[in-house]
Amino acid sequence: MQAFHISTTGSAAALTEIEKPEPGPGQILLRIGACGLNFADLLMEKGTYQETPDAPFTLGMEVAGYVEALGEGVTAPPIGSRIAVFGGSGGLAEYGCFDANRAVQLPDAMSLVDAAAFQVAYGTSHLALKHRARLQPGERLLVLGAAGGVGLTAVEIGKLMGAEVIACARGAAKLEAAKAAGADHLIDASHADLRAEVKALGGADVVYDPVGGAQFKDAFRACNPEARLLPIGFASGDVPSVPANHLLVKNLTVMGVYWGGYLKFNPAALTGSLTELFDWYAAGRIKPHVSNVLPLAEARDALELLRERRSTGKVVVQVADL
């Protein structure tokens, strides 16, 4: 089968012919239709992601497709069912084996492309805003990187939860995407004084930050007393430090959010979150924003869209038209 594969440690991923896998105990074999890309895929290729597998391995963290076979001890989901799964890796391939207990049955109306774009982006934002920050109606939510894969979902979910949403992104096109997702206020990160503009709007009660670096520092200084800051990732490449004395003076809380970590220590929180999100999708309350869909043969180009920040929302690789 074809896979976008890293053969040896330190080598770049490339489209490679590898052996079709067989499901082990507790696993399912999935015929993959689509794979959603994430910034973490870029870090994993460099070997700097916190959960990078040992080589050889195939990139691709979240997938959707059809169950083709069940491993020993597995009785569900049934063969032929449409599921999405967060596997952590292995998604940029025609077939993959994943833990059966991570499989999520798809609503009938959900396409495989939407499903592949759904779990990490929506799951991260929902868990961060509802479970971690406990965002309340009427609070002011500042979303950095608001046109990215997770940023757009934070805008959308924040608005659904009743927040006043400030979206910060670079350029008119990305800000327009954030506005379409429900943002009340727009800040262009390419030239605005972020701290001053947020303060002029009344300050931030919750900060959702997948960017880090200077933007985190500016947002930190624009927080209201008792604000909650949510570091989601560090797309800027700069991991900021937090002045503890400022936390004390303004009674601020910084709470990290790593969605995948919940699979290990609190899977019920993640499962409950996804259940509510799929219900929202079925009711038409949310809809993934997929700016680019490319075939498996163009997986390198798809990753470059992320690296060069030329996409809005999600980039999806369509492995097969199932």
The answer on 253 and 306 residing in a single domain is: no
**Final residue before a domain boundary, out of 224, 240, 260:** 260
Whether residue 232 is found in the same domain as residue 298: no
Q: According to the model, what pLDDT value does residue 125 have?
A: 97
Residues 135 and 253 in one domain: yes
Q: What is the CATH number of the domain that holds 81?
A: 3.90.180.10
Show the domain range for 146: 121-260
Predicted TM-score (pTM) of this structure: 0.89
CA distances (Å), origin 218, targets 81, 168, 188, 192: 47, 12, 14, 11
Q: Enter the tokens of residue 271.
A: 């499962």
Q: Is 190 found in the same domain as 86?
A: no
* Residue 266 included in any domain: no
Q: Does 267 reside within a domain?
A: no
Predicted confidence at residue 35, as pLDDT, reads 98
Amino acid type, 187: I
Structural domain contains residue 302: yes
Confidence at residue 195, expressed as pLDDT on a 0 to 100 scale:
96
Asked, for residue 278, whether it belongs to a domain, the answer is no
Do both 18 and 104 map to the same domain? yes
132 and 40 both lie in a single domain = no
Report pLDDT for 122.
Answer: 96
pLDDT in tens, the chain (322 residues): 999 999 988 889 999 999 999 999 999 999 999 999 999 999 999 988 888 999 999 999 999 999 999 999 999 999 999 999 999 999 999 999 999 988 988 988 899 999 999 999 999 999 999 999 999 999 999 999 999 989 999 999 999 999 999 999 999 999 999 999 999 999 999 988 999 999 999 999 999 999 999 999 999 999 999 999 999 998 888 899 998 998 999 999 999 999 988 888 988 888 889 889 999 999 999 999 999 999 999 999 999 999 998 998 899 999 998 8
What's the per-residue H, E or C state across 168-216? EECCHHHHHHHHHCCCCEEEECCCCCHHHHHHHCCCEEEEEECCCHHHH
Domain count, the chain: 2
Residues 127 and 152 in one domain: yes
CB 88 within 8 A of CB 111: no
Both 160 and 91 in one domain: the answer is: no
Q: Note whether 69 and 113 are same-domain residues.
A: yes
Q: Do 154 and 66 lie in a common domain?
A: no
